[in-house]
Amino acid sequence: MKIIRNSIFVTMLLFSCLVISAFTQGNGGAGRYYNPNTETTVKGTVEKVTEITGRRNWKGIHLSLRADDQRYNVRVGPSYYLSANGFTLSVGDQIEVTGSKIKFGGAEAIVAREIKKDGKVLTLRNRQGIPNWSRARRQSY
């Protein structure tokens, strides 16, 4: 009887961990580190667009942005989200990025909340940094 009780406890514990993990991974990694207090806006030229493959083949877009003689590493969001919103980013594009300056992986980066290009605005996250594509956003209302 004690073995059955322990097995049930372990099963419930593992299930709880899986549920918590599923809810926290829906925000796209860097979004967990979004800090509204460090929000900034920079205008510049896209120097490089990189698609990074993460866990579960999740593909995220990163930019190298040149603005005011500085280079910024910008973490945008999943490539499918940009495509679904008819938004493309290419080398040479003039853009304005509003986002949170953070330290990620030992380097400074900007987690984009909003990108403006050619009069079009792509909103990636709400003001708290919760991504528009995540389950956490749907649960925050």
Span 3-60, pLDDT tens digits:
665 555 545 444 443 333 333 344 444 446 799 999 999 999 999 999 999 878 889 9
- Amino acid identity of 88? T
* Tokens standing for residue 6: 């322990």
Do 97 and 110 meet the contact criterion of CB atoms below 8 Å apart? yes
pLDDT digits (tens, 9 = 90+) for 59-93: 999 999 999 889 999 999 999 999 999 999 999 99
Q: What is the reported pLDDT for 56?
A: 80
What is the residue whose two structure tokens read 């749907």?
Answer: 138
10 Å Cβ neighbour count for 97? 25
Cβ(24)–Cβ(131) below 8 Å:
no
**Local structure of 58: helix, strand or coil:** coil
pTM of the predicted model as reported, rounded to 2 decimal places: 0.73
Percentages (nearest 5) of helix, strand, coil residues in the chain: 30, 45, 25
Domains and CATH numbers, the chain: 30-129 (2.40.50.140)
